[in-house]
């Protein structure tokens, strides 16, 4: 008989990471007391592997001799290759098809079976359960392409860790790049140190939104977004304390999109909420050039098409209306209407990865430090307002 013992602890909630953890009996707890009822003994504990379905399938490992932060695999030196941290739906749906021409080196997920099956099904050379196990691989690869699609709380910390192991790594961070201001500080540091970073805000690449960017560049804008979120359970991981909220995890798309269109600094936030749900609220962002953005978010309404978005952009004497990336209408100064309908919703994922592939070669990336700071400061402040019931906050 084998026992799966999961011991996870950290004094700092922001540093919490589910990991494969082993402790010698004399450093952990009194095994004779705690496991006596289970009829366990020392020999059993020296053969188990925490996330492995059956220890008999693996080589025996002595917990007494395990170094928690050392990779035991030697890797050959190589030029490049893809390493993915976090193997959820995003990795399968967008990362694999978007980066299909890259050599597949390693995939990492704390769930043993998911990591192993991902490796076997998608042609990766290695699979691991913790980032620490990839340290030697990062060091032995001249210019690895790293995609970070883990829990949001790990994005910034993992990006900094990768950069410290290999400053030549090309790092793609799925949104959001930051959950806290500490995260922002970490990313600012590696940006300034020369890190090669791209951030996965795909709506910047959506054809309709790019067309709007060309039309409104340099203008004072008045923008209204109406966002229909999908229904999620109250205990969804978006709502874990160290993940921020769904505002942090998803509404950040439209905070960033507004910053993409507006060439100014966000300075002030106002929020109202229903007091019955963290998913029903309005957020207003004002900018130092006089621009104003209003975002209404709710999970109420028809969910057939999943997340849905409407946008109205007003400037000078013109108006642009966008219907869920399916079409838009541009009402010009003289009253003429320009209308266009799309065959399908294009939210920019494929174009984003096409450009990222090109940028891997040029090592010139689209998401700049100013973009990171503006979007992250608004997102962190708005999340604090939502959680604390604050109606007003200045951006500092």
**What is the Cα–Cα distance from 175 to 285, expressed in whole angstroms?**
20
In a shared domain, residues 288 and 221: yes
pLDDT of residue 92: 94
pLDDT of residue 100: 96
Could you say which of 200, 219, 246 is where a domain stops?
200
In a shared domain, residues 272 and 372: yes
In a shared domain, residues 28 and 92: no
In a shared domain, residues 148 and 286: no
Question: What is the DSSP track for 80-141?
Answer: EEEEEE--SHHIIIIIHHHTTTS-EEEEE-SSHHHHHHHHHHHT-SEEESSGGGGHHHHHHE
* Terminal Cα distance for the chain, rounded: 57
In a shared domain, residues 343 and 227: yes
Specify whether the CB–CB gap between 367 and 201 falls below 8 A.
yes
Angle (deg, nearest 10), helices 181-192 and 369-388: 170
| Tens digit of each residue's pLDDT, the chain (396 residues) | 434 444 444 455 444 444 444 444 444 444 444 444 444 444 433 333 333 333 333 443 333 333 333 345 678 888 999 999 999 999 999 999 999 999 999 999 999 999 999 999 999 999 999 999 999 999 999 999 999 999 999 999 999 999 999 999 999 999 999 999 999 999 999 999 999 999 999 999 999 999 999 999 999 999 999 999 998 888 888 889 899 999 999 999 999 999 999 999 999 999 999 978 889 999 999 999 999 999 999 999 988 889 999 999 999 999 999 999 999 999 999 999 999 999 999 999 999 999 999 999 999 999 999 999 999 999 999 999 999 999 999 998
- CATH code for the domain in which residue 191 is found: 3.40.50.720
H or E element in which residue 76 lies:
none
CA distances in angstroms from 270 to 53, 245, 276, 391, listed in the order given = 50, 17, 18, 5
In a shared domain, residues 192 and 233: no
Could you say which of 200, 224, 256 is where a domain stops?
200
The residue segments making up the domain with residue 259 are 203-348+368-394
pLDDT of residue 304: 86
Specify whether the CB–CB gap between 127 and 105 falls below 8 A.
no
In a shared domain, residues 276 and 343: yes
pLDDT of residue 11: 52
pLDDT of residue 140: 96
Instruction: Record the pTM.
Output: 0.82
In a shared domain, residues 190 and 214: no
- What percent of the residues of the chain are helix, what percent strand, and what percent coil, each to the nearest 5? 40, 25, 40
**What is the Cα–Cα distance from 270 to 35, expressed in whole angstroms?**
55
Specify whether the CB–CB gap between 268 and 396 falls below 8 A.
no
Total domains present in the chain: 3
The answer as to whether 145 is a domain residue is: yes
CA distances in angstroms from 393 to 98, 361, 387, listed in the order given = 39, 42, 13
Within 8 A by CB and 6+ apart from 370, the residues are none
Within 8 A by CB and 6+ apart from 103, the residues are 78, 80, 81, 82
**What is the Cα–Cα distance from 157 to 168, expressed in whole angstroms?**
17
In a shared domain, residues 187 and 209: no
């Amino acid at each position: 008989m084998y026992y799966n013992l999961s011991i996870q602890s950290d004094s700092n909630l922001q540093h919490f990471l589910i990991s494969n953890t082993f402790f010698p009996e004399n450093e952990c707890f009194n095994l004779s007391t705690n496991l006596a009822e289970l009829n366990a003994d020392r020999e059993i504990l020296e053969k188990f592997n925490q996330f492995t379905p059956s220890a008999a399938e693996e080589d025996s490992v002595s917990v007494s001799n395990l170094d928690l932060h050392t990779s035991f695999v030697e890797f050959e030196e190589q030029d490049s290759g893809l390493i993915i941290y976090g193997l959820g739906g995003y990795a399968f749906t967008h990362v694999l098809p978007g980066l299909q021409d890259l050599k597949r080196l390693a995939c990492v997920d704390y769930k043993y079976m998911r990591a192993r099956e991902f490796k076997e099904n998608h042609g990766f050379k290695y699979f691991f359960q913790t980032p620490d196990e990839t340290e030697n691989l990062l060091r032995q690869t001249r210019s690895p392409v790293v995609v970070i699609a883990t829990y949001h709380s790990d994005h910034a910390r993992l990006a900094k860790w990768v950069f410290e192991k290999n400053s030549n790594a090309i790092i793609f961070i799925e949104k959001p790049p930051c959950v806290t201001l500490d995260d922002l500080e970490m990313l600012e540091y590696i940006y300034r140190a020369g890190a090669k970073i791209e951030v996965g805000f795909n709506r910047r690449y959506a054809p309709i939104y790019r067309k709007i960017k060309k039309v409104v560049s340099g203008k004072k804008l008045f923008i209204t977004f109406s966002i229909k979120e999908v229904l999620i359970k109250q205990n969804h991981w978006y709502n874990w304390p160290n993940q921020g909220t769904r505002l942090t995890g998803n509404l950040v798309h439209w905070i960033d999109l507004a910053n993409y269109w507006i060439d100014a600094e966000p300075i002030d936030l106002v929020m109202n909420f229903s007091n019955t749900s963290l998913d029903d609220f309005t957020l207003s962002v004002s900018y130092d050039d006089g621009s104003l953005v209003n975002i209404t978010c709710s999970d109420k309404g028809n969910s057939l098409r999943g997340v849905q978005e409407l946008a109205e952009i007003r400037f000078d004497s013109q108006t642009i209306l966008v219907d869920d990336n399916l079409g838009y209408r541009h009402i010009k100064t003289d009253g003429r209407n320009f209308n266009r309908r799309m065959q399908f919703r294009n939210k920019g994922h494929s174009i984003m990865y096409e450009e990222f592939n090109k940028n891997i070669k040029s090592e010139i990336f689209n998401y700049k430090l100013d973009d990171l700071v503006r979007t992250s400061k608004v997102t962190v402040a708005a999340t604090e307002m939502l959680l604390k019931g604050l109606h007003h906050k200045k951006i500092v």
